Amino acid sequence: MIRKIVEKLHLDPPKTLVIGFALIILIGTTLLTLPSATEDGLGLPWLDALFTATSATCVTGLVVVDTGTTFTVFGQIVILSLIQIGGLGFMTLATFFALIMRKKISLRERLILQESLNHISMEGVVRLAKMILIFTGLAELIGGILLSIRFAFDFPLGKAIYFGFFHAISNFNNAGFDLMGNFSSLTAYVDDPLVTLVVCALIIVGGIGFLVVSEVYDYRRTHRLSLHTKIVLATTAILVVAGTALIFVLEYTNPKTLQPLSFMGKVLGSLYQSVTARTAGSNTLGIGDMHQSSLFLIILLMFIGASPGSTGGGIKTTTFATLIGAVIAQIKGKEDVIFFRQRILPHMIYKSLTVTMIGLFIVMAMTMALSITEPGATFQMVLFEVTSAFATTGLSMGLTPMLSPIGKCLIVLTMFAGRVGPLTIAFALAQRKQKEYFRYPKGKITIG
């Protein structure tokens, strides 16, 4: 259906992505309003269905109703399907079905696939799509089996398997939807090593980007990693370790979070919150119970987000690293930004600045708007909610279920913009290479 619309309207890749995601959300919304989707047999109200479908498709995890108690198995499968489509990208799945049916992938479809995967060039994009599907299946299978084994100690076998695979798929795609009930997420497993480490591994692998995973897998054969992969791995490691250490210190004496736990429980709880803030959305500590300093740290981690070409959101690790590198170079009085003995081109720095400023503008504008529509919420709750929606994280201080109808609409727009907006704008800017026939004279201004 999307393919026919694209061919008829002659849409370029960015517009195709926007319309494609919008159509998927519309279909998901319709399905969630069906009586068979909810336990009460009434179906979800249209606005709540739109919010849930957007949150699932944009792999966010913010919910206005509890997933585990509100939806039937049919409704939960709809949500899980939207998560999988949103995480992989509809063009990746369309490519998969086209290959099964032995159809040729057209040039236009390759361009859209390149845009969807945030790939540098069109070369090898179909091979990358195949690898993504295989790797995703393996990661979700292994994660699902391990979680099923652990949940089997707490639930009947059938329910344990269902819960195991649901949470594996949800967390690999950095969505954060859970079935534990009463908005509790995975708080019952805060000091459980198996659940914590398996889910953290799924979140990290799903969030570093499929191109990075492909290069790491091929390293035994090629013995080389691209600059992109090196920056992603280094930045991810630094953010995870620094986030874990800071949360551990800030929450160590908090009686509502880490204090009652053993030393290992404190480490596991800190690690989980550091990793999940990178756009995953599930949690093992009560977010609303954390100190303000910890919440602000999580806001910063959410805004940075995951890596390009992944299932996560945010401005991305490479964008953050490039800006930090530019600041350090400026302080040292150097003209070039250097990573691993390679120079970052100036237009990449401009693009990083553009994506960051767009993200800041969206967060500031929506925070101001939500502060008007939700007068009962504190500023920190509003900022946390908006940042979580923009970064497609899904963590919440408890504001989501209390949102007004206008507030829900604003968060829906923020989630949609966070999933397709900055990425699409960045690529649109990258493709607009107009020849300049003259340049204006230099002008000097005072900075700082």
* Listed residue (226, 212, 206) closest to 310, CA to CA: 206
pLDDT at 242 over 90: yes
Biggest distance spanned by C-alpha atoms of the chain: 74
Least confident of 158-162, 214-218, 296-300, 360-364: 214-218
Buried b (16+ CB within 10 A) or exposed e, 210-229: bbbbbbeeeeeeeeebeebb
| Angle at CA of residue 373, ends 368 and 377, nearest 5° | 80
- What local confidence, expressed as pLDDT, does residue 14 receive? 62
Q: Please report whether residue 142 resides in a domain.
A: yes
pTM of the full predicted structure? 0.87
* Collapsed DSSP state (helix, strand, coil) of residue 320: helix
- What local confidence, expressed as pLDDT, does residue 122 receive? 52
Q: Please report whether residue 381 resides in a domain.
A: yes
Least confident of 48-57, 124-133, 282-291: 124-133
In the structure encoding, which two tokens stand for residue 29, read together? 């919304």
Whether residue 170 contacts residue 178, with contact meaning beta carbons closer than 8 Å, is answered with yes
In the structure encoding, which two tokens stand for residue 132, read together? 């993504």
User: Model confidence over 57-102: pLDDT tens digits?
Assistant: 888 888 899 888 899 999 999 999 999 888 776 555 555 544 444 5
Q: Please report whether residue 91 resides in a domain.
A: yes
Q: Please report whether residue 301 resides in a domain.
A: yes
Give me the mean pLDDT over the 136-148 stretch.
92
pLDDT band at 313 (very low <50, low <70, confident <90, very high): confident
Least confident of 53-57, 149-153, 444-448: 444-448
Dihedral sign (CA 89, 91, 92, 93):
positive
Give me the mean pLDDT over the 105-133 stretch.
58
pLDDT at 167 over 90: yes
pLDDT band at 394 (very low <50, low <70, confident <90, very high): confident
User: Model confidence over 252-298: pLDDT tens digits?
Assistant: 999 999 999 999 999 999 999 999 997 788 888 989 899 999 999 99
Q: Please report whether residue 353 resides in a domain.
A: yes
Whether residue 423 contacts residue 118, with contact meaning beta carbons closer than 8 Å, is answered with yes
C-alpha–C-alpha distance, residues 257 and 288, integer Å? 10
Alpha helices in 71-124, H assignment, sequence order: 73-88, 90-100, 107-117
- What local confidence, expressed as pLDDT, does residue 224 receive? 87
Number of domains in the chain: 1
pLDDT band at 125 (very low <50, low <70, confident <90, very high): low
* Listed residue (371, 446, 363) closest to 403, CA to CA: 371
Q: Please report whether residue 436 resides in a domain.
A: no
* Collapsed DSSP state (helix, strand, coil) of residue 3: helix
pLDDT at 13 over 90: no
Q: Which domain holds residue 253?
A: 2-431
pLDDT at 377 over 60: yes
| Angle at CA of residue 222, ends 219 and 226, nearest 5° | 70
Q: Please report whether residue 219 resides in a domain.
A: yes
Buried b (16+ CB within 10 A) or exposed e, 249-271: ebbeebeebbeebeeebbbbbbb
The upper half-sphere exposure of residue 65, i.e. CA atoms within 13 Å in the direction of its Cβ, equals: 25
- What local confidence, expressed as pLDDT, does residue 2 receive? 47
Q: Please report whether residue 352 resides in a domain.
A: yes
The upper half-sphere exposure of residue 206, i.e. CA atoms within 13 Å in the direction of its Cβ, equals: 35
Give me the mean pLDDT over the 126-134 stretch.
72
Q: Distances from the Cα of 350 to the Cαs of 98, 319, 323, 331, 355, in angstroms?
A: 37, 10, 9, 18, 9
Higher pLDDT, 337 or 128: 337
